[in-house]
Structure 1
């Protein structure tokens, strides 16, 4: 699913680009694609409001680029490798990177960087953090979450970070509450149409599937 959608999206991005931005899109984008596949795509579920290699003009007239620009909350989301961003960086490059981040702030953009190692080794944590950040900055804000308890919101945010269905033990680990209490929270989310129970014959629930409605509620 991702590969097919990404191919379409990437061709659209290149079709709308020219000059330096097109050159940026034609370079090695291994880190950007990994960030998109492992973190951004599972969280937002679409590419419609995502711009790749966002081009901005700094105060000094230099063009700078951000890996991904998510327009609903005006955020730049990036993948940063340790070698190129820390281990072998020159003083000039260090200064440029700080200027680039200040330029994002100048435009009023939130800067959300992820390291390659975090994306590679801890993708679930990255997804949960991104979901939390997006939820905090979404235009609907807290109003979209009215009617949800704190525990219900935490379960939904935790679920989005998983690359599989939510299990009871996952929910218990998330909330650090007793099993009967957690089951009540899960049943409430099912009743609200935010989780779908999965099991055998409809009698025994083994896990829960996050519904699209839950994404809209949080974002």
Structure 2
């Protein structure tokens, strides 16, 4: 099914199940940025809109209704997505609105939601960055809902290790981090090197590889 058809069915289905302000909010709140997120980021990754709820209502700590751009509710996991434009969320925001936004996000976290904020400019112009970051994030949470090969999970874990490390990583760090043997760690590092994620660092007279560093523009090289 093509995106436009799936998107139309998705919105109409949610509108038909809502009444009053919840329905009106969806009709006027689901706009260009939200549609671009689905088209440019979500659809290329999953080819469906399952478990997504547009303009999702959550009462805040003051008893007022807060509407997140999307909720993603696969089983017991709960995510809130916000597509944030620079104008409305930066240049047009005063101190009170800024404080309320931070308090609201912290409150949602306390309710068990993982809040994911994406810049509209990235969704519109650099969606590959959003897709790759979501893949890294969801590889930690959606193993049961989105089964992955063990090798893919191991590689994602190594990439996160690189992102959290100031210095290049060594095979023994990977082995200790994943609780695997040295040979398996080498295999994972070589696989990521072949895929364009890592760059080997040579040292010694024999030009042996002792360390690997993350290629910082790898987002542009990997789907």
Alignment of 1:49-88 (within 5 A): 49-72=51-74, 73-88=77-92
Structure 2 unmatched ranges of 5 or more: 160-192, 201-222
1:196-207 equivalences in 2 (<5 Å)? none
In structure 1, what is the equivalent of residue 4 of structure 2?
Answer: 3
Partner of 2:196: 173
Do the aligned residues in 2 keep the contact of 1:154 with 1:174 (CA within 8 Å)?
no
- CA pair 171-88 structure 1, distance change in 2 beyond 3 A: farther
Which ranges of 4 or more aligned residues in structure 1 deviate by more than 2 Å?
18-21, 139-155, 170-177
Q: What is the CA–CA distance in structure 2 between the aligned matches of 1:84 and 1:101, rounded to whole Å?
A: 16
Distance 1:148 1:35 in 2: 25
Residue from 55, 77, 101 that aligns with 2:105: 101
1:125 aligns with 2:129: yes
Report deviation, 1:141: 9.1
RMSD: 2.9
Larger Rg: 2
CA distance in 2, matches of 1:140, 1:42: 20
**CA distance in structure 2 between the partners assigned to 1:35 and 1:145 by the alignment:** 27
Select which of 102, 113, 117 maps to 1:113: 117
Shift of 1:134: 1.2
- Count matched residues: 164
TM-fit CA distance, 1:176: 4.3
Q: CA deviation at 1:174?
A: 3.2
Range with bigger deviation, 3-12 or 13-22: 13-22
Does the 8 Å contact 1:151/1:175 carry over to 2? no
Residue 25 of structure 1: aligned partner: 26
Corresponding residue for residue 39 of structure 1 = 41
Q: TM-score if structure 2 supplies the norm length? A: 0.64
Is the 1:43–1:130 Cα contact (8 Å) retained in structure 2?
no
